Structure 1
């Protein structure tokens, strides 16, 4: 798909991936706990960290250059963690209430912050989610989050690090409600201790957009620290 065509369908892409601050998409419905039939592993080995240069993990991709700090007191989103994103990505808190509140919910997590890639030339978002119920570990929170997404397939998990913090990460495919095509998504969960579990997710209009935005997600992942 050519860049001009993809950027020319920005409005349709917003409908496809769901802007949380408005009523542009139907709320995602929580699914039953995922089963192996979805593809990939549902209970990753605690000692195995698969490495793949291309799909599904893209371990050969390098993190982007840091420009904006997210999560600190001066940030538009005050969070229990801080991390960096590249230049031009727009940071804003998620404000969904009343009849739109369900748009900010997925698999027991609530969206709190949205970092929009459109000013940087891509169609997609990094989002930060907090787990609604306390005491949920990183693995359980992530599995429930992915199971709550729409038609997730080829789900794979691994233990990893977010900055210096132990974390759990998932890669998966989702079918676009707009085009019917599969697009890749990524999410990582981080247990922060007293502040509970947070998740960072990356989603875009299609897999090509996802791949172009992946350096920004990796920058966020690698720069995570607990907010003082």
Structure 2
């Protein structure tokens, strides 16, 4: 799907519109040690920052009901993607054999990136993922069979490739993996301007490792 906008939620909203027309308190200084003390007071170790909370995605009652489930940091804003009512905008949610059904944006991070979940009809995983990637402006496609245990204990195929960004007018690296489910093939894609940042890759890898077929 060449020229795909960075975030589908924004694009679909625009399509719908077209169709319708304290400062923290200072801590008190520590009291001086008594003059009789023979050794200086030791500082307490600084507590480490707590990890980001996580939320479930994919099951009933979650932001996206999917054929798979996984956990994602709450730093990511997750929303279901619905097909546009106007058929003229149907291509916004299609890429090759797949349809996007869920999008998570890295809103709570300093990076510009997204994780998208796509569904495709039942069929062999590798050809489906290959067709999905080739439907974008991609090059340098490398497919790898992950076997069992690399994606939540189910057989998976991963693609590494580059896509052309019309915004920056340069190629950038992206990645996606696909698994088969009783309801068809599911593709999880990592993309965006900062798709190769460590935090973005870590989020993608966590989704891949923790994925469960519903």
Name the TM tier (shorter chain): 0.7 to 0.9
Length, aligned pairs only: 169
| Structure 2 residue 162 is the aligned partner of structure 1 residue 173 | yes
RMSD of Structure 2 on Structure 1 (CA): 2.1
- Cα distance in 2 for residues equivalent to 1:204 and 1:88: 16
- TM-score (norm: length of structure 2): 0.73
| Structure 2 residue 195 is the aligned partner of structure 1 residue 212 | no
Which segments of 5 or more consecutive residues in structure 1 lack a partner in the other structure?
1-14, 25-63
- Regions of 4+ moved over 4 Å: 206-209
| 1:139–1:105 Cα change, 3 Å | same
Q: 2:123, 2:185 within 8 Å by CA — same for their partners in 1?
A: yes
| 1:181–1:22 Cα change, 3 Å | same
Note the 1:12-161 alignment, pairs <5 A. Answer: 17-23=5-11, 67-97=54-84, 98=86, 99-131=88-120, 134-150=121-137, 152-160=138-146, 161=150
- Cα distance in 2 for residues equivalent to 1:197 and 1:101: 20
Shift of 1:195: 1.1
| 1:18–1:65 Cα change, 3 Å | same
- Cα distance in 2 for residues equivalent to 1:17 and 1:214: 21
Query: What is the CA deviation profile of residues 27-77 of structure 1, one whole-angstrom value per residue up to 9, with x for unaligned ones?
Result: xxxxxxxxxxxxxxxxxxxxxxxxxxxxxxxxxxxxx97711110102110
Shift of 1:121: 2.5
SS at match of 2:8: coil
Shift of 1:174: 1.1
Q: Name the counterpart of 2:179.
A: 190
- TM-score (norm: length of structure 1): 0.68
Q: 2:56, 2:62 within 8 Å by CA — same for their partners in 1?
A: yes
SS at match of 1:75: coil
| 1:106–1:216 Cα change, 3 Å | same
Shift of 1:95: 1.9
- Cα distance in 2 for residues equivalent to 1:177 and 1:20: 16
| 1:117–1:106 Cα change, 3 Å | same
- Cα distance in 1 for residues equivalent to 2:176 and 2:75: 22
Q: 2:5, 2:11 within 8 Å by CA — same for their partners in 1?
A: no
